[in-house]
Structure 1
Amino acid sequence: MAEERVRVRVADGVADVRLARPEKRNALDPAMFEGLVTTGEQLKGDPSVRVVVLSGEGPDFCAGLDFGSFRAMSSGERLSAAAQLPPTDGPARATGQRAAWVWAELAVPVIAAIQGNALGGGLQIALGADMRLVAPDARLSVMEVKWGLVPDMTGTQVLPELVGRDVAKELALTARVVSGTEAAALGLCTRVEPDPREAALTLAREIAARSPHAVRATKRLLDAAGRVDLRTGFAAEQTEIGALIGSPNQVEAVTAGFEKRDPAFTDPS
């Protein structure tokens, strides 16, 4: 069941991951939660994957929780807890948190392509990506307060880093819907694209053509920025550059550049 909710195709180092419940606007039910976490964990172990593109089939990215989840809440149930997942030692422990945070945990860049609705939990899943390309007429909302809830899929921790604490509070306390154009202006998304998925795939292929070791190291350093003190961050830069200089892929990048040809990089083992 979970496999039917999320579909993956890997080609030339790019994993094209799609939420596959378009008839329900890719809404989140236990099987979707399970599919997202399982897919993310599987991609962690695939050294051939250099970039991930995350999108939704049909007109929407993800409209948030399935209506069945809201009905269950009236009796105190949380349907996300019904997902069959192995335990984890990571910081995200709840099922919904894992469905969003697993994309942030990937060693490779993740690009979310957002069209249509990205509401509530759907938006929080997109926040787990490194970049978000959005259609100008997309609809995004931190919608939980509308239903008497709070963003509980890592959104309270990630959102202020992107838009600032004051804007995060305004969005989360009002549940107002913003367009893709406004989302990009606020810093909620990286940029506006008329066709987000095609633009995301093009960007992914560009990144996938770079040295995978350098790409992973760059992501590690940028993820740590602002979360560690400067001494630690500066030391990490020197550790990463020291490991890269003279390595096979770094030599290949320089050689290919001088020879004016496409480099042939090897994937991490």
Structure 2
Amino acid sequence: MSGALRVERHAAYVLATLDRPERRNAIDQATIDDLHALCDELEAAPATLVLTGAGGVFAGGADIAQLRERRAADALRGINATAFARVHALPMPVIAAIEGFALGGGAELAFAADIRIASPTLRLGNPEPGLGILAAAGATWRLPEIAGHAVAADLLLTARIVDADEALRLGIVSRVVDDPLAEAVATAERIATLDAQAVRATKRALAAPRDQHPRVDCEEQAVLFESPGKERRMTEFLERPSKAARASAEANR
């Protein structure tokens, strides 16, 4: 990896930090290359991914100096869109811990996450039309899915920036906390206590188009019903003493 993305591997999750604080973590080609390399790893060995940014900023946008030089052929390659699509499609959950600016491509990378946790300093939006382009790396389809068409149209057509409170009210982020990275790590650790096969199946079901439900849910459940994890976890649950029984046993000692 180039170093634009700093990766730390933990037992319960992988932490990836956008690490160009001198450029507000602007997403350049090196960042995209590093994201692809990380996706190669996480597609082969699934783990929950926590995404964050260095220096109190998630990502101030795509690297404008590089964008200015790109032409039609570059747009048709979908440079950022392809990388963000791979992030979104990773087998295990992706959690974005967002502080400060998440603008342009930074917002679109955040939209690619399954769970978005923000700090009160959040400033999120897509100012691309002010630069003569559109938000083409996920905002026009993911933001309507996240917050609805009316919200997406309001934000994308006006290039309006929202703060943490409005992002929470609009459903763009699910939580606003003082330390989003600590909250994201705690969330990843909670996910690690669950059955990984069931988590992956749930993510696939969430991603399925509406017209595939409930068939896709039943097919995923059919596989889980035959899994060793389901048998073991349900057996442990049934054999666990109830709180009332434990309290009674303690009282009778």
Asked if residue 98 in structure 1 is aligned to residue 82 in structure 2, the reply is: yes
**Structure with greater helix share of residues:** 2
Q: Secondary structure at the match of 1:3?
A: coil
Shift of 1:65: 1.7
Query: Can you give the 5+ residue segments of structure 2 that lack an aligned partner in the other structure?
Result: 242-253
Distance 1:159 1:259, change over 3 A: same
Q: 2: CA distance between counterparts of 1:197 and 1:54?
A: 9
- The residue aligned with 1:255 is 235
Asked if 1:146 corresponds to 2:130, the answer is yes
Paired letter, 2:9: V
Please give the alpha-carbon distance, in whole angstroms, between the structure 1 residues aligned to 2:12 and 2:238.
Answer: 24
Q: For 1:88-117, what per-residue CA distance to the aligned partner results, in whole angstroms no more than 9, with x for missing partners? A: xxxx95111022111111011111010011
CA contact (8 A) 1:112 1:131 kept: yes
- Report the counterpart of residue 245 of structure 2 in structure 1: none
Amino acid at match of 1:137: T
* Equivalent pairs, count: 241
* Aligned-pair Cα RMSD in Å: 2.1
Which segment drifts farther, 133-142 or 64-73? 64-73
Partner of 2:223: 243
Aligned to 1:25: 24
What 5-or-longer segments of structure 1 have no aligned partner?
82-91, 262-269
TM-score by length of 2: 0.88
Deviation at 1:71, TM superposition (A): 4.1
- CA distance in 1: counterparts of 2:53 and 2:158, whole angstroms: 26
Structure 2 counterpart of 1:4: 3
TM-score after normalising by structure 1? 0.83
Distance 2:44 2:26 in 1: 27
**Aligned residues with identical type, % of pairs:** 36
Alignment map for 1:121-200 (pairs within 5 Å): 121-200=105-184
Deviations 1:74-98 (A, max 9, x none): xx488xx5xxxxxxxxxx9511102
> Which structure would you say has the larger Rg?
2
Secondary structure of 2:55's counterpart equals: coil
- 2:61 is matched with which residue: 47, 61, 64? 64
